[in-house]
Amino acid sequence: MERELDDLLHCPCPSCGAQLQYNAEKEAMACNHCGYTEKLVLGKDRIEEIDWTQARTDSKHTVERRLFTCQRCGAKTTVNYDTPTITCGFCGSTNVNPDATKTRLFEPQGIVPFKISRTQATESFKNWIGQSIWAPNDLKNLARVDTLHGIYIPFWTYDVQTHSEWEGEAGTYYYVNEQFRDQNGNVQSRQVRQTRWTYRNGTHQQFFDDILILASRQLPQQTIQKVYPFLLENVVNYEPRVMLGWESEVYKIDPQEGFSVAKKIVDDRIESACAELLADDTYRNLEVQTEYSDQTFKHLVLPLWICAYQYNGKTYQFLINGQTGSISGNRPVSVWKVLLAVLAFIGLVILFSVLGGR
Ligand SMILES: [Zn+2]
Ligand SMILES: [Zn+2]
């Protein structure tokens, strides 16, 4: 006998009793039945840095299944207990399971509520698809609303102080005169560039604030970075009501694993900074040793519109930052359109060379 999923979030409309949902356009809880709206004022006092010594590999991950009884239509289905938002497969009602986050060691501290509504996201997607002159003509018909998902995605942010010792060789260019014989056997001279190498070393300190790392496996870190930045100054206290009417997930990448991704980003930036300190005209053999201290992290939930669409058997992805509306994605290219453009160009080149040759 499966355990019931209880304590679903109740947020009834005071005037008609239907479940309220978070409305991105109005930035309020709103009723889709009677139009009632209620402003949601959220503080920022619970968003605090967690000391790195608290970071542990999460052993609480659970795959437990629970029986979900839809509050609206009564249909029963089995769902993962760690699913924060459940859409009833029978009536489409959306439900929030506030206990989902308790299946993980760290609960979200902050959230950025959706600002880009479904209407705006659909509009952006259609514009973006239509914008490319290389896109196949029938692609515009693909811009269907139901392929877009508004999902609250889990993230980690990391702060870290770094102290680095670097050493390497700085290269300075200089020029020497060189004599050579030309085709006719005459002695000529020319300038040749040489590099003088000088050993250098030094230190570099850099503080990194809020390095934002994806805690979901839905898409790669590199993909999400294309719709950065999120304006983290607008993060408010985590509030499950904001998830009513949306999709969401709990983190799948724990703080330790997330930090190894952040560390790569940090190390790359330190290396560039040290290279700049070392280089004269150029540099080589740069070695950097870094110590990390004052390390902290936070757990945030941020809004994202995700669309995966199929065209000619290939999957393409499209993303919208749910806070800023920033867009990224890949789209198919029409082979015929590109071919025609190339042929037209070749035609013009031939035409001009014929005209020029007269
Ligand atoms: Zn109502
Ligand atoms: Zn239902």
| Full DSSP string of 141-186 | GG--GGGEEEEEEEEEEEEEEEEEEEEEEEEEEEEEEEEEE-TTS-
Q: Which ligand is nearest to the CA of 13?
A: 1
Tens digit of each residue's pLDDT (9 = 90 or more) over 53-104: 888 777 667 678 999 999 889 999 999 999 999 998 898 888 999 999 988 8
pLDDT score, position 293: 95
pLDDT score, position 56: 79
> Measured in angstroms, how far is the CA atom of residue 39 from the centroid of ligand 2?
27
> For all residues of the chain together, what is the average pLDDT?
90
Q: Which ligand is nearest to the CA of 69?
A: 2
Amino acid occupying residue 148: L
> Measured in angstroms, how far is the CA atom of residue 14 from the centroid of ligand 2?
21
Q: Look at residue 7 and give its three-state secondary structure.
A: coil
> Measured in angstroms, how far is the CA atom of residue 245 from the centroid of ligand 1?
15
> Measured in angstroms, how far is the CA atom of residue 121 from the centroid of ligand 1?
25
The neighbouring-strand residues paired with 283 are: 170
pLDDT score, position 9: 93
> Measured in angstroms, how far is the CA atom of residue 87 from the centroid of ligand 2?
8
Neighbours of 286 (CB within 10 A): 17
**What is the H or E stretch that residue 37 is in?**
strand 37-39
pLDDT score, position 72: 86
Q: Which ligand is nearest to the CA of 19?
A: 1
All structural domains of the chain with their residue ranges: 1-41+62-103, 169-199
The percentage of residues in the chain with a pLDDT greater than 90, rounded to a whole number, is: 66
Strands 247-248 and 282-311: unpaired
Q: Which ligand is nearest to the CA of 34?
A: 1
pLDDT score, position 329: 86
Q: Which ligand is nearest to the CA of 31?
A: 1
Where the chain has pLDDT below 50, the residues are 145
Query: Please, which residues have CB less than 5 A from ligand 2, an ion?
Result: 70, 72-73, 75, 88, 90-91, 93
Q: Which residues contact 222 (CB under 8 A, 6 or more apart)?
A: none
How far apart (Å, rounded) are the C-alpha atoms in residues 9 and 26?
21
Residue keyed to tokens 């986050």: 101
> Measured in angstroms, how far is the CA atom of residue 188 from the centroid of ligand 1?
92
pLDDT score, position 330: 79
> Measured in angstroms, how far is the CA atom of residue 71 from the centroid of ligand 2?
7
Amino acid occupying residue 104: R
